[in-house]
Amino acid sequence: MGNRHPRSNALSLATALVLGACAFAPAYAGGKANLASLEDGSRSFGRFVVTYRSGTAPRRDAAALERSLGNAASALGLNTLQRLRRTATGSDVVVSPRPLSRAEATALLHTIAADPNVESVENDMRMVPYWTPNDSRFREQFGFGSGAGGIRATTAWDLARGAGTVVAVIDTGIASHSDLNGNLVGGYDFISALSGAEAQQFGAFFIAADGNARDANPADPGDWNDNPNACRTGNSSWHGTHVAGTVAAVTNNAKGVAGTAPAAKVVPVRVLGRCGGFSSDIADAITWASGGAVPGVPANPNPADVINMSLGGSAPGACPQSYKNAIVGAAQRGSIVIVAAGNDDANASTAVNSDGQPVGYTMTNCGTVISVGATTSSGGRSSFSNFGPGVDIAAPGSGILSTVNNGLRGPTTEAYKAYDGTSMATPHVAGVAALVQSVARTPLTQEQMRTLLKNTARAFPVSPGAKPIGAGIVNADAAVKAAKAL
Ligand SMILES: [Ca+2]
Ligand SMILES: [Ca+2]
Ligand SMILES: [Ca+2]
């Protein structure tokens, strides 16, 4: 909304220049009184900027100026108009003795403009900041800004911040973080117990790592692995905490990072543990997150407007039927399902599996999902990002700062770290979808959301060339404006 202000100022300046050039033009009050300057969102008016023609008495002489202002004031029944100061460019800032209504201010502008010595007069317009949160590390979050790689969230936040929406983050669970906890609600841990044979091989709670099966506590106990026979070894990732922070870190708290949808709530749903997680658990999590019934699990009291899945197969593979069914059900219940395209620099739709079949990557190949590729701070494709016709849209995924934990194994102290991945791109789009739903008169369906996000996407500043990653970079500002216009 603030965009309009500099433009109308530019127009009034142009008008003033034209009038200044036509020194012998007849007095034309309508043109000299900048009535558009009253459109600054104010309910009352009290400060005006008058510019007297160069060389005229009021421009030269304080007493003449006082007379000119005094005449205008008395014509409107005001005691006086006081000059506050002269600006660097020779205009005078004047104040009325009391707040004026729009009609009174309009009359005042006309009256002052009727003085042939006056070149222009306008309301001293109030500019507003494009809301930029005060989070201490916000300036490191290029992904939210208006630069080449940014999603234009800072301008979108003037119109929508996601209030009233819920984003389910189906991931590794959540670590306590003071820059995130305030935006978390509910949650569940869907990692089920291993079978007897599996438990014998890896230990009963190998994947879960929290000492039990499914439970109501989605806390992330860490997903470190030091068993090379099980999967790749490594320290805990705190992946779900990072993703959740990008969706809705506590924002404008003078601390840490901002989130894409600062007023949205995140439901953490734990499905990934040590060495990942099973599709059967993830399918149940999708159903539950969207408000569907899962046997043995209490209903989700916070059904998701948007489901973020920054996860997928580690190699090409056909979409499991359990996913397809769960995703169709989620869409029917009104949840927008947004997934990561994957990080293998491969075609997410046609990459071949070990049998040579062109199956692509799960989740992109799961039908109605909105699949997200990753871009860098300059708006080019992240070198790792999967691509292809199944990728709908892109978002920042290289060097994304968000909330994590310092623990190499279990959780210790909270931290912020920059991660790379389509996992980091996806929550930018999920957050934008939450912004959209928060202002839409009627919540968009999955297909309506896909269409809106693609139609409003920003053209890639750097072409992804032969490795397409969708319609463009998600544009929060344009998406929100389009949603409000529906
Ligand atoms: Ca558990
Ligand atoms: Ca648990
Ligand atoms: Ca913050």
Buried-state track 103-124, b at ≥16 Cβ within 10 A, e below 16: ebbbbbbbbbbbbebbbbbbbb
Question: What is the Å distance from ligand 3's center to 207 Cα?
Answer: 31
CA gap 235, 406 in Å, rounded:
10
Helix or strand or coil: residue 265?
strand
d(CA 236, CA 250): 23
pLDDT, residue 28, reads 39
- Nearest 10 degrees: CA dihedral of 31, 34, 39, 41? -170
How far is the centre of ligand 3, averaged over its atoms, from the C-alpha of 173 (Å)?
20
d(CA 481, CA 112): 38
pTM comes to: 0.78
Q: Is 195 left (phi over 0), alpha (psi -120 to 50) or beta?
A: beta
Q: Tell me how far the alpha carbon of residue 270 lies from the centroid of ligand 2, in angstroms.
A: 8
Q: How far is CA 373 from the centre of its chain?
A: 16
Question: What was the pLDDT predicted at 129?
Answer: 53
Residue 212: nearest ligand to its CA?
1
Rounded to the nearest angstrom, the distance between the alpha carbon of 231 and the centre of ligand 2 is 21
Nearest Cα residue to 277 out of 220, 345, 217, 358:
220
- Phi and psi of 371, rounded to 5°? -100, 140
Which ligand has an atom closest to residue 416 CA?
3
3-class SS string, 192-249 = CCCCHHHHHHHCCCCCCCCCCCCECCCECCCCCECCCCCCCCECCCCHHHHHHHHHHC
List domains and CATH numbers for the chain.
Answer: 4-123 (no CATH), 138-485 (3.40.50.200)
Cα 123 to ligand 1 centre (Å) = 63
Active site residues: 171, 239, 423
- pLDDT value at residue 324: 93
Largest CA distance in the chain: 99
Q: Is 31 helix (H, G, I), strand (E, B) or coil?
A: helix
Dist CA 439 CA 431 (whole Å): 13
> Tokens 């003795």 identify what position?
97
**Pick from 14, 345, 342, 414: nearest CA to 174:** 414
pLDDT the model gives residue 9: 33
What's the confidence (pLDDT) of residue 30?
47
What are the φ and ψ backbone dihedral angles of 431, each rounded to 5 degrees? -65, -40
Cβ neighbours, 10 Å, residue 286: 30
Return the ligand number nearest the Cα of 192.
Answer: 1
- The per-type count for the chain, helices as H runs and strands as E runs, is 13, 14
Residues, beta carbon < 5 Å, ion ligand 2: 189, 210, 215, 217
User: What is the chain's pLDDT, residue by residue, as a tens digit (486 residues)?
Assistant: 233 333 333 333 333 333 333 333 333 344 789 988 888 777 889 999 999 999 999 999 999 999 999 999 999 899 889 998 888 888 999 999 998 999 999 999 999 999 999 999 999 987 655 567 889 999 999 999 999 999 999 999 999 999 999 999 999 999 999 999 999 999 999 999 888 888 888 887 889 999 999 999 999 999 999 988 888 899 999 999 999 999 999 999 999 999 999 999 999 999 999 989 999 999 999 999 999 999 999 999 999 999 999 999 989 999 999 999 999 999 999 999 999 999 999 999 999 998 999 999 999 999 999 999 999 999 999 999 999 999 999 999 999 999 999 999 999 999 999 999 999 999 999 999 999 999 999 999 999 999 999 999 999 999 999 999 999 999 999 999 999 999
Run of H or E residues at 270 = strand 265-270
pLDDT at 418: 96
